[in-house]
A and B are shown apart, each in its own frame.
Chain A
């Protein structure tokens, strides 16, 4: 189908975007990469009066590194994240997740900020931001807010973003050497939406894992963490019995909905498979490093 009729503007300054947002409110939709928005327009699920194209606003572009964090501009594309050496060094979880996002033609246009703003529970970036303790930088004519990922996603396609705000960037704390991350996803066909996925992070420590964050994709109405399972993993040194205990906990903690192809038991089983894969990888790498220390 074709989109309904709308007007179009392409501002070149952030100040113009903010004043238009303030004046137009809900009548305006922000057009980032358009890879979701244009689909919803084509299907007539959305009928905005005005589309504001953000492609010419320089403040929304680029990946930069500061002392404390990696800053990913809202208009950075999925492909730019995938290709970025800075991301690979400081947030490798994102590098691992990027190839799972749709297909190259979509990754060439779709944006990091657009994905965060849409808040799809089946999308990769929201879960990654949650696992990495990221922050959403939202700006309006009223000022700037820094919103923790944990507070940003509030429900099905719902976020804490106000009607006059836009995301200018996301900030991700830069990793120390001890931060372990793993990205796991199952889809029926490469590039399809995830049946279930996991963005995991933890701090390796000699006695037990610390700050374990397991962020799940496709397991509920929003990207969500399994905190009880995280606590199990923080309770003792990582071992095969501890992984079994964590998986048992996970199966009682997650409450996914069935989708068109997978029942609730199937999704729970697959979530457990992903957690097992992620932790097996970690266990193998820890035993190797312990062995090399003993030598």
Chain B
């Protein structure tokens, strides 16, 4: 009953022209049509956060957006965010703190944390906990994840202060 629609979506800076069925979720389009398997599929109803990607610069659930809704818009996945180098410090902090075991939730965690780092550089531990509460981790118990995010917040603030003094 429904036909594929042509969409133009800029993914990690590259313009993609594809035909997609309206029912295709953004995360399935990214994984299956573009082969970007970094965004993971967990619950498929918006609860777990494993499929978190950025749409026009803001985090969204990849399972609660249709690919056709992203037509004409910009998407960033963990592959793009990782290659850009902008969260290198966050990734290193996750490794240092053992903030992952199986790693399934990690791309979503990094995506979510990156928006917090951008929008609220002065966030305290409680704010970090609240912000990250939209992403499930079934291995770590969250302490190490919160530790890692807090460490990067501190380190970036210190670096910014030094920059201001210099």
Q: How far is the CB of B47 from chain A (nearest CB, A)?
A: 9
B51-65 toward A: CB 8 Å interface, digit per residue (1/0)?
010010011110111
**Are A105 and B59 neighbours in the complex by a CB distance under 8 Å?**
yes
With A8-B5, A8-B66, A38-B66 known as contacts, the answer to whether A1 contacts B23 (CB < 8 A) is no
- How many chain B residues touch A (Cβ–Cβ < 8 Å)? 35
Q: Give complex CA distance A105, B129 in Å.
A: 15
Q: Give complex CA distance A128, B115 in Å.
A: 28
In the complex, number of A-B residue pairs with CB atoms less than 8 Å apart: 99
With A6-B22, A7-B22, A104-B131 known as contacts, the answer to whether A34 contacts B65 (CB < 8 A) is yes
**Are B69 and A103 neighbours in the complex by a CB distance under 8 Å?**
no
Report B-chain residues with C-beta under 8 Å of the C-beta of A221: none
**Are A31 and B23 neighbours in the complex by a CB distance under 8 Å?**
no
With A38-B64, A104-B112 known as contacts, the answer to whether A5 contacts B44 (CB < 8 A) is no
Report B-chain residues with C-beta under 8 Å of the C-beta of A35: 46, 61, 64
Report A-chain residues with C-beta under 8 Å of the C-beta of B23: 2-6, 41
Report B-chain residues with C-beta under 8 Å of the C-beta of A42: 25, 44-45, 63
**Are A106 and B61 neighbours in the complex by a CB distance under 8 Å?**
yes
Report A-chain residues with C-beta under 8 Å of the C-beta of B46: 35, 38-39, 106
* Nearest-neighbor residue (CB-CB) of B45 within chain A: A39
Q: How far is the CB of A243 from chain B (nearest CB, A)?
A: 29
Instruction: Give the interface of A toward B (CB within 8 A).
Output: 1-8, 10, 31, 34-35, 38-39, 41-43, 49, 51, 53, 55, 79, 99, 102-106, 108-109, 189-191
Instruction: Give the interface of B toward A (CB within 8 A).
Output: 1-3, 5, 21-23, 25, 28, 44-46, 49, 52, 55, 58-61, 63-66, 68-69, 71, 112, 115-116, 129-131, 133-135
